[in-house]
A and B are shown apart, each in its own frame.
Chain A
Amino acid sequence: MTDWRYWLARQRGTLIAAGIFLVMFILYTSRHPAGFSASVVQTAANKGVLLAFVAMAQSLVVITAGIDLSVGMIFILTNCLASWITDGTPLQTAAGVVAVLATGLACGAINGAIVIYGRLQPIVATIASGAVYYGIALALRPQPGGSVNSDLADALTGRVFGVVPASLIVLLAVVLLIWIPFSRSVTGRAAYAAGSSETAAYMTGLPIQRAKMVAYMLAGLLSAIGGLFVTFFTYTGDAAYASGNTYTLYSIAAVVLGGVSLFGGSGSAIGAIFGALAFRTIGDLLFVFDFDPLWQPLFQGLVLLLAVCLSSVGLLQVRNRLEWFG
């Protein structure tokens, strides 16, 4: 097999997700009264990147065959924290941003430590740690409120040169600074290997524990970036339980739409980003087609159900029934 074919096969999930997103977004902008204008793109980007960051976070952990059900709660926690400390002079704001990111990293490290050294199943462990993170968020913000450095917030949610949404540039920077170095490092390869077959990876002498730890930590960090951004959009911190849960669940949906296998070992964070953007666009499509907004959750659910059912067409190619059981 030639190189590009191999590359194509490996990136299939990511490319399909990107394709779905493009089709939907073109459909969306073609029906939108304002058309394909800078402000339409900006609004869509700002809504999309929040889920994109959380979906990226989820994908890193899912690649190692784990799952992080606390990403939504880290998102909420960092949102509440950011509404306290990212204000004031530029220096104070910068320190605040660093502190918020460090908090996300620490939350991820706690998750990683519980799962790796505590040897607990990630599903239950992160449900429990998520409850703790939510509790802290609620302690920080019993009522919605707070403030944020509006110069920074406006800069990061506005447009650069009047065309490109700044939030997309940040997303791109995060991909270039976090995802690309991670996926190309030994640690990143070990994360894929651990997700594919942990025993084989262990036998090969790959640093599995380090890889998983880094995956959970980066997941915390990426959720925190999402939490920072939601603060920039809303100017407030809000410890909303339902919102945290929704982000966690949507992050799983986005990851699956983005072609990342829930069994681990395949897919990429870039696919998850496109999955997230596509999932957000599905919700918006109904508005431009003049449907009652009441139908939005049903439509979103049906598209998700259809998408996951389509992923099982591979069953038709099974030669031996035992392959059903993976």
Chain B
Amino acid sequence: MTDTSSAAPSIGRTIGRRLAGFDPAVLTSFGCILVLLLASSLYSANFLSPAYLLQQLKVASFLGIIATGMMLVILLGQIDLSVPWAVCAGAMMSCALAAHGVTGQIFAIPFGIFCGALIGLVNGFGVGYLRIPSMIVTLATNAVTQGLMVVYTGGFSPQDSASKSMHYIATGFLLPGLPNAVLVWALIAAGAVFALNRTVFGRAVYAIGNRERAAYMSGIDTRRIVMIAFAISGALAAFGGVLLAGYASKAAQSMGDAYLLPAIAAVVLGGTSILGGRGTYLGTVAGVILITLLQSILSVLQIPEFGRQIIYGLVILAMLLLYGRGAKQRQ
């Protein structure tokens, strides 16, 4: 912009123009974050302290990484219900390998991610090549993964603990003041933004989400793209699990259950259409922070669990009604 040096009204106009370039859904969700923070600061000024905000960002980064994969799949117009046990498998398998000497310690993190990618690959093969609805394939792989983990652990939470590197990557500080988990999320976010906006793969994902038939006709190998997207989603879910295991220093049964619905909600609240083809990564970031803040504030305010559930559901509904409505039948 060249006219920023002129009078005040034109600066206002420039800002207005800049804002107009953003998705209204993204703006609304960032607005909701601000309102939430301001409203809660009336209760206690601690809600605006840097320490609290940084802590929230750290907690959000686990959900953020998982939601990145979910967003990719939702952009295709599909859904990944295998997240809970992909998270769990990532955590359990990396901890299991970490118990096997030095080599195990080194390969713990890649192995966990690899297991998730494998689950995602099965999902992607089913959806892309066998043309089974994603909701049911991912449901089935979730059940199979759960079965495998139950057989492996004997139905109890495993005793293996996370490796030092897992602990470091989830809780350490490479840069002073910035938790590593946030750093990891930032790196993944940068990768996601680059992949979605600047690569053929990203454009293909949007194209398939809009109309797979048209994407196929324009020469995209849609089946391969779908398979890769699901594999990435599985890998990221498992990576989230690895980080969670590092954070809690061990894996637990059903540790992933708490991440499926928030991940979907975060992606959708960020303005990504559940029908696919439309959405920005910035929106997903906003959605993730919004969900994390909402959960945190509700628990700090010491609202009992039932109240938290009700408010959580109502807020999601209200925000969707605000900006997530579909078109009328007539159009």
Contacts and interface: CB of A to CB of B under 8 A. Distances in A.
Given A120-B321, A312-B132, A305 B309 contact: no
Contacts of B38: none
Given A245-B257, A296-B147, 9 more contacts: A125-B320, A128-B265, A135-B305, A135-B309, A139-B304, A202-B330, A252-B139, A262-B133, A298-B146
Main secondary structure of the interface of A (DSSP, over half): helix
20 contacts: A118-B320, A120-B317, A121-B324, A127-B265, A130-B313, A132-B310, A135-B307, A138-B309, A142-B304, A263-B133, A298-B144, A298-B148, A298-B150, A301-B147, A302-B144, A308-B132, A324-B216, A325-B212, A325-B213, A326-B131
B79 A135 contact: no
Contact of A128 (B143, B213, B306, B317): B317
Contacts of A262: 133, 135-136
B274 interface: yes
Interface string A197-213: 01100100000100000
A114 interface: yes
A324 B213 CA distance: 8
Interface of B: 79, 81, 126, 130-133, 135-137, 139-148, 150-151, 154-155, 212-213, 216-217, 222-223, 254, 257, 261, 264-265, 268, 274-275, 304-314, 316-317, 320-321, 324-330
Given A138-B305, A295-B151, A324-B131, A118 B310 contact: no
Nearest to B122: A305
A304 B311 CA distance: 35
Contact of B320 (A120, A138, A142): A120
B328 A309 contact: no
Contacts of A137: 306
Contacts of B145: 301
Contacts of A135: 305-313
Contacts of B213: 322, 325
A301 B313 contact: no
Nearest to B134: A262
B135 A315 contact: no
B313 A120 contact: no
Interface residues of A, number: 56
B320 A124 contact: yes
B306 A305 contact: no
B132 A322 contact: no
5 smallest A-B Cβ distances: which pairs? A298-B147, A135-B309, A301-B143, A131-B313, A135-B310
Contact of B274 (A121, A131, A134, A139): A121
B109 to A, nearest CB: 26
A123 B260 CA distance: 13
A325 B326 CA distance: 23
A297 interface: yes
Given A135-B306, A262-B135, A298-B148, A121 B264 contact: no
B313 A123 contact: no
A308 B316 contact: no
A136 interface: yes
Nearest to A201: B329
B57 to A, nearest CB: 24
Interface in A130-150: 130-139, 142
Contact of B216 (A114, A198, A325): A325
Nearest to B316: A128
Which among B136, B268, B305, B326 has the highest number of chain A CB atoms within 10 Å? Answer: B136
A202 B212 CA distance: 25
A131 B140 contact: no
B167 to A, nearest CB: 28
